[in-house]
A and B are shown apart, each in its own frame.
Chain A
Amino acid sequence: MDVLNFLLITASGLFFIGVYGFLTRRNLLTMLISAELMLNGAALNLVAFNRYRWPEELDGLFLAVFIVAIAAAEAALLIAIVLRLYRNTRSVDVSDITELKH
């Protein structure tokens, strides 16, 4: 198997593991873990294309670095929201958080 195909299949494997976790978990923090796995699959995809298609360019690498930065901002905001929700409802389970329903 070629190295580019192998890396891309690994990246899509990580992405779909994240999809599985996102569909089955009912806890906000484990859903965040699944979302991080999906973001990592996407970043590995971009880096692998950059490395083995256009090795003298850097665009895929920078896109992956920006994905990491946005993932950091997203994780920090989600954890602030989770702590706030926990203070109000004593739970981080998505089926207990129904206040925005009419």
Chain B
Amino acid sequence: MLQPDWILYILALMALAGGVMAVTTRRIFRAAVYLLFSLTALAGIYFWMHYEFMAAVQIIIYVGGIVVLIIFSLFLTHQTGQPLPEPAPLQRWGAAVLAAAAWVGMAVLLLDLPPALREAAMPTMSDIGSALLSVNETGMALPFEVITLLLLAAMVGCIVLALKDRTALNT
């Protein structure tokens, strides 16, 4: 049976505490920075699991892309120093009880799972690369191409949405 060690406990605590602070703080810039801590700790968990590719994707896209995008849009749309409004007490405690009860129920169910397997041979980086682009029955070439189309459509959509108005298209 594989046991978590203290590094994993610290990383999971960082991820959960960063998440809690990100959703409860009333300063919106701090929420984005706490999200950054949470995502970085999650990348550390992926490193701990020896999935270096997933950890690199997490750091490059989430930490380097999405969080920076969120912080930029915060700077464009918010005044510094104005705290967010408090949620109504009923809404806050109702949501807290609902989320905590669902988590406890989920944890009770998850504790009954059979334990993890012993370590097996891990796929290497070249296995990941060839599986991502191969067309046999375990290959991922079709989802890969669909994702590229999705990203292209999202990119064009962002440009169209963020244009100043219709007349800017004609000039």
Contact = CB atoms under 8 A, between A and B. Distances in A.
Interface residues of B, number: 82
A16 B99 contact: yes
B101 to A, nearest CB: 9
State which size class the interface on A falls in. 35 or more
Given A36-B66, A70-B147, A77 B102 contact: no
Interface majority SS (helix, strand, loop, mixed), chain A: helix
Interface in A1-22: 1-10, 12-14, 16-21
A52 to B, nearest CB: 4
Given A27-B84, A44-B42, A55-B122, A33 B31 contact: yes
Contacts of A75: 66, 69-70
Contact of A18 (B23, B70, B98): B23
B116 A29 contact: no
A9 B77 contact: no
A24 B76 contact: no
B150 interface: yes
A2 B158 contact: no
A85 to B, nearest CB: 9
A5 B54 contact: no
Nearest to A28: B77
A30 B28 contact: yes
A77 B66 CA distance: 11
Contacts of A52: 2, 116-117
Interface in B78-100: 78, 84-85, 87, 91-92, 94-96, 98-100
Interface in B38-88: 38-39, 42, 45-46, 49-51, 53-54, 57-58, 61-62, 65-66, 69-70, 73-74, 76-78, 84-85, 87
Interface of B: 1-4, 8, 12, 15-16, 19-20, 22-24, 28, 31-32, 35, 38-39, 42, 45-46, 49-51, 53-54, 57-58, 61-62, 65-66, 69-70, 73-74, 76-78, 84-85, 87, 91-92, 94-96, 98-100, 102-103, 106-107, 110-111, 113, 115-117, 119-123, 127-128, 131-132, 138, 140, 143, 147, 150-151, 154-155, 157-158, 161-162
Interface of A: 1-10, 12-14, 16-21, 23-27, 29-30, 32-34, 36-37, 40, 44, 47-48, 51-53, 55-59, 61-62, 64-66, 68-77, 79-84, 86, 92
Given A21-B23, A47-B49, 6 more contacts: A1-B4, A6-B8, A21-B24, A23-B98, A64-B54, A70-B150
